[in-house]
Structure 1
Amino acid sequence: MRREQRGTGHGHGDGHGHGHGHGDGDGGGAGRGSAGRGGRLARLRHALTPHSHDATEAIQSAEEASGAGIRAAWIGLAGMMATAALQLVIVAVSGSVGLLADTVHNLGHAITTIPLLIAFRLGRRAPTRRYPYGFRRAEDLSGVLIALVIAASAALIIVESVRALVEPRELTNLGWVLAAALIGAAGNEAVAVYRIRIGRRIGSAALVAEGHHARADGLTSLVVVVGVAGVWLGFPRADALVGLVVGLAIVWILAGSCRTIFRRLMDGVDDGTVEAIESVAARVDGVHGVGRVRARWTGHRLEADVDVNVDGAATVAEGHRIAEIVHHALLHRVRHLGHVVVHINPAYDGVVPEHAHELTAHHAGG
């Protein structure tokens, strides 16, 4: 939204910047006050967490959301690279196919963070005349690249596992393999918790998907533990079978990720989004009905448009005032909403006359 309200204690930029609370006592002013009272510890906590909003609340500012997404991507990348590096060393000394499969997938997952970071950076660029909606769609396109990398890693793992089943390899240093698998599980779960939490706060399907992907990585690391136990119990092909299970699990994860990516690219929204917009708009004083509502994701922000009915005898100024109130209410109460266009229809006794859209009716296709 590109309006600015002066004298109200807050401004609305591209998204919804706050200088006041949401009724829960956690507004921007409160956040600054508590930081001052808390001293260094509060400032450190403020720096490490995505600012003054509660963990379960959506971040309304687009700039703040992008910053939180970039920070989560970098922290996750560091964690995954450290885990994968340690696992690579143990793969080299043990020859474990199961651990190799887990490590390759962890490395592939780390690599997919790079296009996500680029997409977040692109999304912060200002709209242009050629791209008037901005560049946030780059985030959805990065999801396609991530899916391709996941597919390639799954293919490599399955091929290596089948080869090991046909030609069994002698495994050594099984204790180290077990330790690496447990470290991989713990490291990936830590990354998953952080990315999912931040992804939900900023409305980023790509970041949430990356978080679930990391959680699945942790589970596959635990599967490697099963392979080690099988080898210890005298079944040498257990390690290769575990690698094959990991590869198939990755294919299953990929299918779920592709569904989310496809929905976003096709302008699909989550269940309840349109209903939430209708409900909020309908409760505004002066609104006598809600017509067409549309919404779509552009990266991790929602764009929407809504038709509302007002008294046909109202002045232009009064109609604009009601539209402004609807706009403001929607920005506050619909999670991840970055911008909304409110169209006003004149209504008489609650009914919009047919002649109100007489000029454009033939363009509506029935």
Structure 2
Amino acid sequence: MYFTMGASQAMQSALIEDFLSLIPAITWLVAARFEPRAPTEKYPYGFVRVNSLAFLVSAVALALVGTFVFYESASTLLMGEHPTVPPVSILGQDIWLGWLMIAALVYSIFPPVILGHKKQPVAQRLRDKVLHTDALMQKADWQTGLAGILGIVGIGLGYWWADSAAALFIAVSILKDGIDNVRIASAELLDGAPRQLEGKDISGEAKRLEKRLLDLWPDCEVRIRESGRYLFASVEGMTTPDQLPPAKELMGGDPAWRLGRLTFSPDKKDEPASAS
């Protein structure tokens, strides 16, 4: 794609998004290496939250690059720059470069879409937001490829603005994904209620766990947060009971491994007083 993009803004945006799609995969691999490590003196709670940090890094990278591509595309469109797609000579034959661009884009569509479909069920089983983001980005690559093809065809038909408009469409897609993921990652790092993999709503697993804990200890207050792929629950208003139900019973039909920690506090935590 790099060798065929020429002056096409849509091709440049598609290439940037393809490189960008490597960021979630790289951060996931780094997080997977650190997460199982044992606690240390400096990190007494271990490294389970490295997955949350990796998710935030991926989300911020998405948002920043989306902003850059949006600015570049919008500027080109507003200034009325006319991109050119000249012919190139291959084995003594002149071929319109646009055909090579379209061929490169078509080739770039299929592998990510196939990989995205294969990664998504794994991400759902692991409740892994970084891997899920990676899968969604790859599944949506067909939109990027199609937008780029339409932009190049538009140039060939004399619609100079089609290329920048296609790049702008790709930029909006990147920016939307980035902003949505930054919100979810920020909520996780701020100990907000666990969110679903797909969307901003509170996780159904967290709601069901909260209900089961309140059924067992109705006079207490239950708080649940998410740390990486695990749910950390706190029951406030009682000491640790002598007999604790197993995690499988507490989680019901949900995966027992999701309950990473359950703590008890004899006193309910008061909300901080608001400044007068």
Report the TM range for the smaller structure's normalisation: 0.7 to 0.9
Once residues 215 and 273 of structure 1 are traced to their aligned partners in structure 2, the CA distance between those partners, rounded to angstroms, is 26
TM-score computed with the length of structure 1 as normaliser: 0.59
Q: How does 1:74-93 map onto structure 2 within 5 Å?
A: 87-91=1-5
Helix, strand or coil: the match of 1:341?
Answer: strand
Task: State whether residues 112 and 149 of structure 1, in contact with CA within 8 Å, keep that contact through their aligned partners in structure 2.
Answer: no
- 1:135 counterpart (44, 47, 63): 47
Listed one character per residue, the Cα deviations across residues 318-350 of structure 1 (whole Å, up to 9, x for unaligned) are: x533x1x24341256434524232649xxxxxx
Task: State whether residues 157 and 244 of structure 1, in contact with CA within 8 Å, keep that contact through their aligned partners in structure 2.
Answer: yes
Change (3 A) 1:169 1:302: same
Q: How many residues align?
A: 251
Name 1:327's counterpart in structure 2: 247
Name 1:231's counterpart in structure 2: 155
Q: How does 1:163-312 map onto structure 2 within 5 Å?
A: 163=76, 166-171=80-85, 172-268=96-192, 269-270=194-195, 271=202, 272-281=204-213, 287=216, 289=218, 291-306=220-235
Higher relative contact order (CA 8 A, sep 6+): 2
Once residues 154 and 271 of structure 2 are traced to their aligned partners in structure 1, the CA distance between those partners, rounded to angstroms, is 65
Once residues 152 and 274 of structure 1 are traced to their aligned partners in structure 2, the CA distance between those partners, rounded to angstroms, is 31
Listed one character per residue, the Cα deviations across residues 146-175 of structure 1 (whole Å, up to 9, x for unaligned) are: 233223422443354333763322114222
- Deviates most, 203-212 or 271-280: 271-280
Unaligned runs of 5+ residues in structure 1 are 1-86, 310-315, 345-356
Once residues 207 and 24 of structure 2 are traced to their aligned partners in structure 1, the CA distance between those partners, rounded to angstroms, is 34
- 1:153 counterpart (65, 74, 93): 65
Change (3 A) 1:294 1:238: same
- Please report how far the alpha carbon of residue 135 of structure 1 lies from its aligned counterpart in structure 2 after TM superposition: 1.0
Once residues 155 and 274 of structure 1 are traced to their aligned partners in structure 2, the CA distance between those partners, rounded to angstroms, is 33
Change (3 A) 1:254 1:364: closer
Once residues 136 and 208 of structure 1 are traced to their aligned partners in structure 2, the CA distance between those partners, rounded to angstroms, is 17
Q: How does 1:60-139 map onto structure 2 within 5 Å?
A: 87-91=1-5, 94-139=6-51
TM-score computed with the length of structure 2 as normaliser: 0.76
Change (3 A) 1:332 1:112: same
Change (3 A) 1:104 1:282: closer
Greater Rg over alpha carbons, structure: 1
Task: State whether residues 288 and 308 of structure 1, in contact with CA within 8 Å, keep that contact through their aligned partners in structure 2.
Answer: no
- Please report how far the alpha carbon of residue 101 of structure 1 lies from its aligned counterpart in structure 2 after TM superposition: 0.8
Change (3 A) 1:288 1:131: closer
Once residues 68 and 135 of structure 2 are traced to their aligned partners in structure 1, the CA distance between those partners, rounded to angstroms, is 22
Once residues 136 and 144 of structure 1 are traced to their aligned partners in structure 2, the CA distance between those partners, rounded to angstroms, is 14
Unaligned runs of 5+ residues in structure 2 are 86-95, 196-201
Listed one character per residue, the Cα deviations across residues 174-196 of structure 1 (whole Å, up to 9, x for unaligned) are: 22222222222322222322332
Task: State whether residues 280 and 329 of structure 1, in contact with CA within 8 Å, keep that contact through their aligned partners in structure 2.
Answer: no
Listed one character per residue, the Cα deviations across residues 283-340 of structure 1 (whole Å, up to 9, x for unaligned) are: 7xxx57473222221111222234699xxxxxx9xx533x1x2434125643452423
Task: State whether residues 9 and 163 of structure 2, in contact with CA within 8 Å, keep that contact through their aligned partners in structure 1.
Answer: yes
Once residues 98 and 229 of structure 2 are traced to their aligned partners in structure 1, the CA distance between those partners, rounded to angstroms, is 43
Change (3 A) 1:304 1:334: farther
- 2:260 counterpart (315, 324, 339): 339
Change (3 A) 1:163 1:134: same
AA in 2 matched with 1:334: D
Task: State whether residues 66 and 178 of structure 2, in contact with CA within 8 Å, keep that contact through their aligned partners in structure 1.
Answer: no
AA in 2 matched with 1:102: A
Q: What do you get for the CA RMSD once the two structures are aligned?
A: 3.1
Change (3 A) 1:194 1:290: farther
The structure carrying a bigger helix percent of its residues is 1
Listed one character per residue, the Cα deviations across residues 271-290 of structure 1 (whole Å, up to 9, x for unaligned) are: 2334311444577xxx5747
